[in-house]
């Protein structure tokens, strides 16, 4: 019981200055309805890919890896670890399964043979396109229901949900992937 009580006591105190609520927010009513809406939106957003993955024995971690490897072909394993913020051990199992099943290819780096570079296979690209098509339809439907100015508002909102120190790197990552995708299409 001591562990539980000490954990509860620690959870009440902000861990860093960034964790402390701003003075006005501490007095405002909690946005529990938005919290719940985000939970339900995420549940439904990942449900479509979950249905595709379940029959092949894969889960959400596989989805995220396939997505990012497809968006950033040739990315280093260390970069994927940074994006996903998971342990090397967690990624190792998922990556091994994706490689074994032919969705991802792992190659040695040209200048540093110890470096592992990840590429989607044709099978991985097809799977990633299926995910993006399903999820894009869901997003497009929601944007249409939200009105003509919603696209920019939603984009700003989602970006603002990211920790401030990560916003610029995330925007750059997305922009690089978009440029590379346009270049591959010709």
Q: What is the mean pLDDT of residues 42-58?
A: 96
Please give the pLDDT value at position 118: 98
pLDDT tens, 164-185? Answer: 999 999 999 999 999 998 998 8
Q: What is the mean pLDDT of residues 7-25?
A: 53
Tell whether the model's pLDDT for residue 144 goes beyond 60: yes
Tell whether the model's pLDDT for residue 121 goes beyond 70: yes
More confident residue, 166 or 113: 166
Q: What is the mean pLDDT of residues 9-34?
A: 63
pLDDT tens, 154-164? Answer: 999 999 999 99
Please give the pLDDT value at position 132: 97
Q: What is the mean pLDDT of residues 2-8?
A: 41
pLDDT tens, 58-78? Answer: 999 999 999 999 999 999 999
Interhelix angle 88-100/77-84, nearest 10 degrees: 120
Across the strands, what pairs with 104? 120
Q: Whole-angstrom Cα distance, residue 18 to residue 159?
A: 17
**Which residues have CB under 8 Å from 91's CB, separation 6+?**
65, 77, 80, 81, 84
Range list of H helices, the chain = 2-12, 23-27, 32-53, 60-71, 77-84, 88-100, 122-146, 150-161, 164-185
- Name the average pLDDT for the chain: 88
Is 126 within 8 Å of 91 (Cβ atoms)?
no
């Amino acid at each position: 019981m001591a562990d539980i009580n000490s954990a509860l006591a620690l959870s009440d105190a902000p861990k860093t200055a960034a964790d402390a609520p701003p003075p006005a927010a501490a007095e405002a009513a909690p946005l529990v309805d938005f919290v719940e809406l985000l939970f339900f939106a995420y549940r439904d957003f990942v449900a479509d890919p979950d249905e595709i993955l379940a029959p092949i024995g894969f889960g959400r971690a596989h989805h995220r890896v396939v997505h990012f490897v497809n968006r950033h072909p040739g990315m280093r394993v260390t970069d994927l670890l940074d994006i996903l913020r998971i342990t090397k051990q967690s990624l190792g199992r998922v990556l091994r399964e994706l490689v074994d099943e032919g969705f991802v290819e792992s190659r040695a780096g040209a200048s540093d043979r110890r470096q592992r570079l990840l590429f989607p296979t044709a099978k991985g690209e097809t799977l990633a396109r299926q995910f993006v098509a399903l999820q894009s339809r869901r997003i497009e439907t929601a944007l249409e229901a939200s009105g003509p100015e919603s696209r920019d508002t939603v984009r700003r909102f989602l970006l603002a949900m990211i920790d401030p120190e990560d916003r610029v790197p995330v925007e750059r990552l997305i922009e690089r992937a978009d440029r590379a995708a346009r270049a591959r299409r010709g």
